[in-house]
Structure 1
Amino acid sequence: MAKAISLIVSALCILAIADFAHAHEEYHVQGQIYCDTCRVQFATRIADPIEGAAVRLECRKRDGSENVTYSVEGLTDADGLYHLPVEGEHENEICEVILVKSPREDCSEQMDDFNRARVVCSSNSGIDNAGQVRYANALGFMIKEALPGCKQVLDELGFFPLHE
């Protein structure tokens, strides 16, 4: 009987240690913010990275509530890249990188459907050895008027105008 109790106590201690280590996970979310110089709502070869753009990572419970359980903000570097530290395990949450603000007056309009990117901040991601870095899809702000070179860029991509 004493051996059984000892085994149970040992098992509980191991589970507690594993849970403690799991709860102190740290991830790093990375992504890029760009200026959509053609107003097509995706990055082209003439899109510009935006330095100093503000982004925020928010995590919310999956129950449909809007209560934010975790939030961290950051700024992009000269290449438009951001690196956000994420503390803890967010397996049962929806985490998204959200555009906050562009430092460029000429490129500050947010895209309608592409102003946020979901990212998994959990070790239970379904990917073996996913590591601690999570990559978010690139997000962008739009310029007020498309640059003159956009027609050539879109022709190269195989886009055809609907009306001439």
Structure 2
Amino acid sequence: MEIVSLKEKRFNRLINVVSVVIPVVVALLFGVKLPNVEPLRFLPPIYASVNGLTAVLLVIAVIAVKQGKLELHQKIMTSCIALSVAFLVMYVAYHMTADSTTFGGEGPIKYVYYFILITHIFLSIVIVPLVLRTFAKAYLKNFEAHKKLAKFTFPIWLYVAVSGVVVYLMISPYYGS
């Protein structure tokens, strides 16, 4: 059985708070529309690109760690976290200045779109504590626990990053409609 240090317990409490606060704040901010602010319509392709870059970097980070390039792995993973924060800021800023876009596809593609969107949203909430706990394990030099948790975190984070791009590509024809 793993003994959890006081430092890790503190990290876990902070992670729990952050993991609840982020989705709650995002949900609340979705209801806020900034008055007299021009819609930031240029942001969706940028934050979709950030998701794509995150996906590529996640794969490169896994390759780096498998090759024993631990410092490179750490730098790339830290970059992925920073990109995810940048994505979140741009995503919220866009939705605070523009109305949500409705998917205009019909037939089976509509169900495909909503399946991808719903799983993307759900897993984007799930991934926050997973990423933070995985990062904390490495930061605390508990590399065995980090490795075990990363086996779950990586595919979910990769799915969230890739599905974010797919959602953007599927809905982009309907922006401004």
Tell me the TM-score normalised to structure 2 length.
Answer: 0.26
- Compare the two structures and name the one with the higher strand fraction: 1
RCO comparison, higher one (Cα < 8 Å, 6+) = 2
- Compare the two structures and name the one with the higher helix fraction: 2
Tell me the TM-score normalised to structure 1 length.
Answer: 0.27
Higher Rg of the two aligned structures:
1
